[in-house]
Every structure is written in C-alpha cells, then in structure tokens.
Structure 1
Amino acid sequence: MTALRFPALAGLLLVALVGISRPQPVAADTPAPAGFAAFVDDYYAALFAWEPNQATYAGIHDFDEKLADLNAPNITHRADVLKKLHERLKTLRAGKLTADEAIDAETLDHAIRAELLELEVVRDWKRNPVVYLGKPAEGIDMLMKRSFAPPADRLKAVIGRLKAAPQLLGAMKTNVENPPKEFTDLGLIVAKGSVSFFRNDLPAWAKDAAGKDKKLFAEFEAANKPVIEAFEAAAKWIETELLPKSKGKYAIGPDAFVKKLETEEMLDVPLDKLLAIGEANLKRDQETFVATAKKIDPKRTPAEVLATLNEDHPKPEDLVGATRGTIERTRKFLVDKKIVTVPSEVRPTIAETPAFMRTGGFASMDTPGAYETKATEAFYYVTPPETEWEARRKVEHMRQFNKTGMDIITIHEAFPGHYLQFLYAKQYPTKVRKLYTCGTNVEGWAHYAEQMIVEEGYGDGDPKVRLAQLNEALLRDCRYIVGIKLHTEGWTVEQGKKFFVEQGYIEPETAFQEARRGSYNPTYLYYTLGKLQIYKLRDDYKKAKGADFRLQTFHDEFVRQGGLPIKLIRKIMLPGDTGPTL
C-alpha cells in the first residue's frame, strides 16, 4: 500500500527554474499577463499561496511560515480564482500553442476542473476532519527533515506554522458536519498521532535546532503549547461530539465518481465497462494465483500456501533493517538486466513511518520537491504495528512484510517504482510536468513494475516470488472493484472487507483497513487501471517500433515524461495515435 505524497504535485526534482523564486497570487482584478508561460506561473503561484504545504513540498520556501486557511469564505474565494483561471486558460487554448504547451494546457484544464469538483461537489472539506488535522504535522515535518536551510531558520518557519495551526483546527470544527463514521474514526487516529508528534518528536528536534539560542527555543515552546492543547481538544471533540453525530455517507455517487476519473485521470470509459474490465482482470489474476500456489505445494489450498509464505516475516523492531536489505537486490537486477536506466547512485533513507502519517498504509515513498536544490533526502517509510495493538493484530500486520513480499514492496516503492520516478524527474521537460502528477501514472507505473520485473526474471522463476507479486496484484484488483462498489452501488465497508478477504486472500485486519481507505479514496482503482494502460501502451509502442523495440528504451522514455495521465503520455510517445488507453 502506497502513500506517496502528491496532493496535486509530482514533487520530484532537484533543480530550480528561473522566475519562480517568489510567486504571488494574482489578484482577481489584476489584468492577466499574456502567454501560456505566464499563465503557468500564475496558476502555481495561486496554488502555493492557497496551500503553503504544497509550496514547501515543491521546494519553494517563500510560504514556509504559513499553513492553509480553510475557513469557508476562503474556500469560496479559491473556487472563484480557479474559475477565472479556467476562463483564461480556455482563451489560451483557443489560440496558438506549441506542442508541449498544448499538452500542459490540457493537463491544467483537467487539474482545475478536478479541484473544482472536489471543492463544490465532493466537498471533503465539509465532511472529512483529516483534511484539517493532517496539515500542521505534515507541513512541519517537511521543515524538520529536509535540510534546505540552517536548523534555526527552519525552526523559525516551524514557529510560524505552529501559530497558524489552532486557527486551522478551528476551521475544522466550524466546517465539518455530519461526516461518515469512517472519516471520524480516521480523524481520531490522526489527532492522537499529532498530539504525540507535537509533544515528543517536535520538541526534541526544536531543542537541537535552537542550539544555544534560548530565546528562540522559548519562542518555540510558547507557540507549541497551544498546538498541543488544540490537538488534545480536537481529539476530545472528535470522540465526544463529532463521533456521535457522524452519520453521513461516504459514497460520492456514480456521477461524481465518473467525473473524478475524467478530470484526474483523463479516463472516458462508461462505469459498467470499467467495472467489467476490473472483474475480468481479477479473474485472470485469481486463476494464475491458484496455478502458482499449486506449483509451490499441490497438497494445500492457495490460502494455505500463502499463509505459509506470510509466516516468514521479520519482528517489528527488525522491519527497517530487513527493508534495507531489499534495496540492493532490486536495484542490481535493473542494472544487470537492462530493465531501465538508473540515473543515480544515491539510495533512499529507510525509516519508520512518522506516527501522524499512520492512517492504514504499510509503506510509502516521500521524496524532495521539484524546486528543492539543497534538501535531497528521500524517505522510504515502512509502518510497524502500534505498541498498543493486541498480539493477533500485530501478527496480521507484519505478515504483509513477509520475506518474499518485501522485495515486491520495494520494487513498488523504490526500484523501479516511485524512487526511480524521483531520480528521473530532472529530465521532466516542462514546469507543469515537474509539478503535476496523477495516480494512473505514478501508482500505475509502480504497480506495473511489480509484474513486469517478475516477468523479466526477477526471482529466477521461483513460484514464491510470483505468488507474492500476484498477492499484491489481487489486493489492487480488489481495490479497483471495492472502490466502485462503495461509491456507486451502496456497499458498506464491511462488505468491502469481506470482498478483500474472500477474493484477494487478504488478512481480515488489513482487509478492513483497505476497505476503509476506499471510503475516503474513491478512485484507488488507479493502481490496476494504470498498470493495464501502461501494458497497452507498451504493446502499441512495440508494434510501432517493430524490430527497433527495446524494453529499456520504452521504460526510459515513459518515466522521463513525468506524471501525466496515460492518455497524454500516448500522445508524446506515439505521435498521431488516437487509440484508446484501455
């Protein structure tokens, strides 16, 4: 399970571009400068002013002392700004654009419509407390762990964000009403994790950052105390006031579901056909899973074979060390077999997932932003079980990190998955492609990588490796179907959990976490959907190239385009192609 941080950004490059050092939002009554490049500058300037965490993540540090202001009038204003930008973009698209500009303009058209859909139709800001609860720790964590400036300077920015945090939590209490219980439950987890972060992790870092500057540390303590109190109050409010009133529906409905896929992934497929594609792929993977399990042990059921595989896992305290061992194996295979060019010798830092980020995932990649020139640290996070969990739940959690499966997780998160995407980002050709991404590309590529690398010989034909890969594929296949069912056919989270267990061989606790994720991440079908689109693109690219086709060339060309929807990647890699993406 991946939680790559990309709210609307690819956040992946190590070079800065001229002309973006101090972006400012365009006032509604200011005449718009001409030209597409100016529009791109203004779009991202407005985005970063609206959501300062995204600016920090991108490597732009002019907003490091600020947090988003999500009071209702500000949200209305943001929607108005987007509509004005959209009208301006329509005019530009009706004129003459270069080929690259046309691709980028289509990308931003969809990005604007996707955000408006979220603000005005889906409206998670009215029904999901995590929208507010996650921002303070997330924004401060980025300032702590990336050394783009001296620690004392970063501490000053931290203090600025601390001062803004209580107001953000106040907006949550004003805006959120009648949320789904699933969202409130998750909000309570994030709130309690944030209390721990601000009470323990942050002060320890701040003391070191302040050094001998006692006045600076005192200023930090004065700003941090109200935040701890605000999160404690928020946790109590969620548990005692919000939870009893949490009777809302998480389903966004068929129309919004289809529109999300159209605006975010550029997918234009009827819902019934989309579901049929997912069900057919699940059936194929199930059949292959059963056949592979028989190769391992024909006397046991597939579930029993998988259970045997899953029992071979590290202890929680050994998880980071065991993950570290997978990096070199997977990277070496890429180089030796010429699967894809690896453009750097730098490895990611492997660490436990910070407490405030533990919302049900197992592993994630957190990379530096597009304009970050100094803080080049990339973090490969793995999530251990919580100490307060009962023994059975801990064991179920750790089974996901079985010895064979951990290699597949690293293939997804690092080589040749998300970390390789980060390493390639310096080759992204335009500003938009350095800052924008979509799930079917980013997650689709990482999921494609799991299957592709095994097909190319990783594991030397060991059926256990193939079974581990298929186990991950079945998980994503179930997400595909459960997401559709939860949001368009009235399924409950319990029904989703049952589907994961029965159709995907998923542990019950993990199945619950996966189904609950579908309640707030409706279109998490983008893993399988993207994988299928990439395989089709590869087949079509191979036909076009004929005898000149090289797998490494295809992979290099794909990853260096950035995180665009596959429909646009096809336009770039197959000039003149008008075929479907599926």
Structure 2
Amino acid sequence: MMLGGIRLFLVLLITVLLVACDRQKVKESGDVMTSDQQFDDLKPVLLEKIWRLNPEWATSVGYHKYDNQLVIPTPERLTDEVNSYRSMLHDLHVLKQTTLSLNNQTDYRMLEDFFNGRIWYLTVLKTAEWNPAEYNIGSGVAEILNGRYDSLTNRLRSISLKIEQVVPYYEAAKNNIKKPTLEHTQLAILQNKGALTVINDLADSVKKAPLKPFEKDFLNFRIAAAKNEINSYITFLQEEQLPVLRKGKARSFRIGKELFTQKFKHDIQSGYTAEQVYQKALKHKEELHQQMLALTQKLWPVYFPEKPLLTGLPGVKQLLGKLAEEHVPRDSFLTAIRAQIPQLVAFVNSKKLLTQDASKPLVVRPTPEYMRGVAGASVSAPGPYDQTANTYYNVTPLTKYSTAEAESYLREYNKYQLQILNIHEAIPGHYTQLIYSNKSPSLVKAILGNGAMVEGWAVYAERMMLEQGYGNNAPEMWLTWYKWNLRVTLNAILDYSVHVLGMKEKEAIALLTQEGFQEETEAREKWKRATLSQVQLSSYFTGYTEIYDLREEFRKKQGQKFQLRPFHEKFLSFGSAPVRYIRALMLQP
C-alpha cells in the first residue's frame, strides 16, 4: 500500500510538472502562445548566450554587461563554445520554422546560419591554430576606453578586471598556435605593437581618473603586466615563429577550393555559389572594359588634343593616369575627406534619396594603430544597444609611406575617386546603412549583419548617386566609377583566383594594374589583403549584384509608381540581413 501510494504520488508530481511546462507557453490571458510569441521570447535568451560567449563583440554593439570579461581561448574553452552553439541550435529547432511569420522565419534562418557558421569556424577552419592575429587585447580595451556610455571611472574598472586575465590569455594564444601562416604572423606583430599604444593611452587615462588610490595601484600593476605580455607575445612571434616560417615551414595562406566554397556559403549567404560569382565577375569585367573604352574615345580629344587616340586598354590607362594627376596634397588627405561629408549630406537631401538622421555623429579620424595593416579606409559603427555613440570613419595616415608610395596612393584616390570612396564609406554608404540597421525592429537582423549586404549596399550607393546626377554626370566621374566598380569586380576574381586557383603575386599585380588600372601601391596592398582574408573580397561584388538586380525588379514591377526613397528605406529597414532574405520580405504579398 505504501509503495503504491509513492508511485501514485510520483505520477501526480510528473503530471503537475508537465502541466507547469505547458503553462509556460500560455499567456496570462489564458490563450495558448503562438509560435511567433514563443520565438520572440526565445530570441533575447539566445542573444544573451551569444554575448556571454563573445564579450568583446557585445561591447562593440553597445551591450556592456560583459565588458569586464576576457575569454581565455584554451582548447577546453573552445570545445565548450562549440557545445554551447550546438545547444542553442537545439533550442531553436524546438520551434518549427514554417509555423512562424515570414519576418520571424528570416530571424530564425539568420540565427541558424550563425550557429552553424560558428561551429564550422571552430571545428573545420580552426583559425585559432594558424592566425596569430586573432589574439590581441587592444581592440577590446580601446572599445571600452573610447566609449561614452558610462563614466571614465567605471569604464576603467571594467578594463582593470578584463586585463587581470592577460597572462593566461597570451599563454593560451601561444599554446594554440600550431602552424601559422607567415602573413598572419606578420600582421599579428604589427597589430599587437598597435595594442601597446592603446595600453599607453590607458595609462594616461588612469592618471586623470578619480579612482581610489588602491584601484589605481591595481590597474597600474595590471597595465604593466599587459605591456609585458604583449611584448612577450610579439617576441614569441618574432623570435620563435618567424625564423621557422621563413624556412618554408609555414602554412599556406591559401585555403583551397573546398574550404573556400564552404566559407563562402557561411559568410556570404548568397543565392549564388562561389564559382558562379567568379564567372559573373569575369563577364562583368569585360562589360566594364567596353564602357570605359567608349568613354575614353569621347574624352581623349579633351585631354590629349595633339595626340592620336591610343586604342584598347592602354588608352584607358593613359587617360586615367591623366585624371589621377588631380589629387589633394599628402598632408591634406584627412582634411579633404572631412570637407566632403557635408556635401554628400546635402546632395542626398536635395534628391530625396532617403531620410537621414542628423543626430548620429560621424567622426573622421586616423585609423587606430591596432587596426592598421588590412584596409586603408573603414567605418567603425556602434551597435543597436548604443545608438547615440559616434560612428568613426577610419582613414590610415600616409605618414609611414615613402614619397613615391604616398604619391601613388594619392593618385589612386584622386579628385574623382576620393568622392566615390566617401560615398562608399560614409554617405549614403556604410555610415548611413548602419544607422538604419541599428533602428531595425529586429535585433537579430541588426546584430547578425551579413557582410555581402553591408558591402553590397555601399557599392550600390556609389552607382545610385551617380545615376542621380552626383558629379554633374561628368564623363570623368563616370570613367572613374567604372574603374572603381572594376576594382570591386576584380576583388571577387582575385579572391577566387588566389585561394582556389593558386594565382601568384606577379599575376595578381598584373591583373590589378593592367586590367584594373590600379596604381602599384594600391595593387600591392590588395594582394596583401587577399593573403590575409578569404571570401571577404567577394562580398562587395556579390552584394552589389543582388541589390541592383532587386531594385531593377522593383522598378519593372511598379513602373511609373517606383520611387527610390521608399525602396531604399524599405530595403534598409531589415537591418543587415542577407539580400536573399530581404528580397523575400520585400516581395511578399
């Protein structure tokens, strides 16, 4: 009787627990929660888990709960991370995607893509073993130090706790590195030297901050330890790794067709395959050459009235060389960029291309040293949790260039091309798109940004501005844009050719200078970038192609009712989701 009573009690207890679980899916009103409501409850839970795993990424998007955390990248920690992403995938798959609204189906796919991508990076690509540049505390410290979301005192307290773990952090980094590439090792040395400047800035801030004496002592002790560990890591790379790597023991920076194809799928998330994009880029290169030849024939008498037309690509190159003579002085490069920003704002407003938010500041600054070595210009934007923070337009100074290198660089970014660069990076390119992205009702779409959409929008913005009359439809401006768009096209060709087809440096420089009309310095910087990244160079052409095709589809569908501003604002309202997902959302009945 006693045993039977216990069994009955257990059955009742289990029943109560099951009912309680079911009640979690019931609203207070008593109605059963829909799949969309359950998913809306799940999303912030998943995002919180993502931030706990990625504290520095959280800081960069304005989520400061984990500012004081520094992830120690031990093998055990990396294994735990993989297991966490698999667990989150399981939580996601409890819900059926097809039962959700189209908008939530997109968020579902983006989360699923993200988790699968992270698992692939950690278990297949394994960059932690061959890319020493992944280990650098400079960026995380600088993000907090330069923030405005809290008092300097509180931010310094977060940094103090963060860098407390600097010794095991760099020890784990040294232990993780198995057979690095020479190129990423050199980048790691350069950027960690840049991190030392961040630590010096941190030391200066400690002197000014109203911290308690014991807090200053602790922080100064940790700053000294951080400097020591960064220098130790640099020495490890310079003295233990470089000599071995230069003897031919380095891993190749080329990842090969199989990994490139997989990485393209995870990173770009296009409707096209990597090889299809490569083939499209080859075809587009020929189309651009034809357009440039036609404009060269038109402009030749203006610039070379006494010379017979030099036919073919050599004629285009000579004309572009003539236009390149018009550039700003070396010491005015940053100033010229700052001066152009208000002009772009005024043009976008006058043409009613989209609504701009004047309350969000854009700060043009020299690229911080810990970020240098990959791109000459870039944008660092705040995330959706910290929308009032500055957006930075980073421009690498020419101070370390020789006279010849600086002249080559300035010829590349001449009077015409500098304007296109500013459209791309600032208005209405990256800066504008990321402002809109932060306002997206979906945090998932704002946070899990797709690189091809982000870069594609910036390239699309260049063409759109010229189509609307920016530069007064001057043939010189259009010829320069064709060259710029050719660079985007060659990025995709170079990316695939280097990593899949084994293109050599000499071949790459010839492609970029002879068929792309690029200056020598620019071409060599692009080759360097191709050795340090994989797939990213394909994102510009892929995203641009998909966005432009979508716009033309809308134009055809709406006919005379089509207007740019509604199209742009609708497109940008979906955060930074992949273009193929935005397309489905915009074309839904």
- Shorter-chain TM-score range: 0.7 to 0.9
Aligned twin of 1:44: 47
SS at match of 2:94: helix
| TM-score, reference length from structure 2 | 0.87
Instruction: Give the alignment of 1:75-90 within 5 angstroms.
Output: 75-90=78-93
The 1-side partners of 2:417 and 2:552 are apart by: 28
1:336 maps to 2:350: yes
Amino acid at match of 2:162: R
CA deviations over 1:218-237 (Å, ceiling 9, x no partner): 33321111111222222222
Aligned twin of 2:217: 218
Aligned twin of 1:153: 154
Alignment equivalent of 1:67, drawn from 65, 70, 74:
70
CA deviations over 1:148-203 (Å, ceiling 9, x no partner): 0011111111222222333322222111122221211211211222223323x332
Aligned twin of 1:498: 510
* Cα distance, 1:84 vs structure 2: 1.9
SS at match of 1:525: helix
* Cα distance, 1:546 vs structure 2: 2.5
Q: Label 1:462 to 1:78 Cα distance change in 2 as closer, same or farther (>3 A).
A: same
Aligned twin of 2:260: 257
8 A contact 2:490–2:516 mirrored in 1:
yes
Alignment equivalent of 1:266, drawn from 260, 266, 269:
269
CA deviations over 1:29-66 (Å, ceiling 9, x no partner): xx998732343223222221111111111211111111
Q: Percent identity?
A: 24
8 A contact 1:404–1:468 mirrored in 2:
yes
8 A contact 1:445–1:534 mirrored in 2:
yes
CA deviations over 1:321-375 (Å, ceiling 9, x no partner): 11111101111111111222223354401111111111231111111111116x5
Aligned twin of 1:12: none
The 1-side partners of 2:505 and 2:42 are apart by: 42
Further displaced range: 86-95 or 71-80: 86-95
Aligned twin of 1:359: 373
The 1-side partners of 2:145 and 2:197 are apart by: 16
Aligned twin of 1:397: 409
Q: Label 1:545 to 1:297 Cα distance change in 2 as closer, same or farther (>3 A).
A: same
Instruction: Give the alignment of 1:456-475 within 5 angstroms.
Output: 456-475=468-487
8 A contact 1:57–1:142 mirrored in 2:
yes
Unaligned runs of 5+ in 1: 1-30, 577-582
* Cα distance, 1:213 vs structure 2: 4.9
Alignment equivalent of 2:60, drawn from 57, 60, 75:
57
The 2-side partners of 1:73 and 1:410 are apart by: 44
Aligned twin of 2:203: 203
* Cα distance, 1:443 vs structure 2: 0.5
CA deviations over 1:515-537 (Å, ceiling 9, x no partner): 22223321121101111101110
Q: Label 1:533 to 1:95 Cα distance change in 2 as closer, same or farther (>3 A).
A: closer
Amino acid at match of 1:569: I
* Cα distance, 1:94 vs structure 2: 5.0
SS at match of 1:92: coil
Q: Label 1:422 to 1:280 Cα distance change in 2 as closer, same or farther (>3 A).
A: same
Aligned twin of 2:573: 560
The 2-side partners of 1:93 and 1:548 are apart by: 38
Instruction: Give the alignment of 1:182-581 within 5 angstroms.
Output: 182-199=183-200, 201-208=201-208, 210-211=209-210, 213-246=212-245, 247-298=250-301, 299=304, 301-372=315-386, 375-387=388-400, 389-523=401-535, 524-575=537-588
Q: Label 1:391 to 1:74 Cα distance change in 2 as closer, same or farther (>3 A).
A: same
The 1-side partners of 2:512 and 2:330 are apart by: 24
* Cα distance, 1:473 vs structure 2: 1.2
The 2-side partners of 1:311 and 1:265 are apart by: 37
Amino acid at match of 1:206: V
Q: Label 1:61 to 1:396 Cα distance change in 2 as closer, same or farther (>3 A).
A: same
Q: Label 1:262 to 1:502 Cα distance change in 2 as closer, same or farther (>3 A).
A: same
The 1-side partners of 2:139 and 2:251 are apart by: 27
1:127 maps to 2:126: no
The 2-side partners of 1:494 and 1:44 are apart by: 45
8 A contact 1:59–1:369 mirrored in 2:
yes
Amino acid at match of 2:39: F
8 A contact 2:442–2:575 mirrored in 1:
no
Amino acid at match of 2:218: E
Larger relative contact order, structure 1 or 2 (CA cutoff 8 Å, min sep 6) = 1
1:106 maps to 2:109: yes
Further displaced range: 501-510 or 521-530: 501-510
Any runs of at least 4 consecutive aligned residues in structure 1 with deviations exceeding 6 A, and if so which? 31-34
CA deviations over 1:438-463 (Å, ceiling 9, x no partner): 11110000011111111211000122
Q: Label 1:401 to 1:204 Cα distance change in 2 as closer, same or farther (>3 A).
A: farther
8 A contact 1:293–1:463 mirrored in 2:
no
Aligned twin of 1:115: 118
Amino acid at match of 2:476: K
CA deviations over 1:250-305 (Å, ceiling 9, x no partner): 22222222222223332243444332101011122222233334444354632233
SS at match of 1:220: helix
The 2-side partners of 1:471 and 1:204 are apart by: 45
Q: Label 1:499 to 1:326 Cα distance change in 2 as closer, same or farther (>3 A).
A: same
* Cα distance, 1:211 vs structure 2: 4.3
Q: RMSD of the TM alignment (CA)? A: 2.2
Amino acid at match of 1:371: Y
Further displaced range: 157-166 or 327-336: 157-166
Amino acid at match of 2:204: A
* Cα distance, 1:316 vs structure 2: 4.0
* Cα distance, 1:95 vs structure 2: 6.3
The 2-side partners of 1:117 and 1:559 are apart by: 29
The size of the alignment, in residue pairs, is: 540
8 A contact 1:93–1:105 mirrored in 2:
no
8 A contact 2:277–2:542 mirrored in 1:
no
Query: Which structure has the highest helix share of the two?
Result: 2
CA deviations over 1:378-420 (Å, ceiling 9, x no partner): 1111111243x43322332333432222211110111101111
8 A contact 1:262–1:268 mirrored in 2:
no
SS at match of 1:546: helix
* Cα distance, 1:469 vs structure 2: 1.9
SS at match of 2:365: strand
Unaligned runs of 5+ in 2: 1-20, 26-37, 305-309
8 A contact 1:496–1:515 mirrored in 2:
yes
The 1-side partners of 2:409 and 2:70 are apart by: 34
1:140 maps to 2:141: yes
Which structure's CA Rg is the greater one?
2
* Cα distance, 1:92 vs structure 2: 1.2
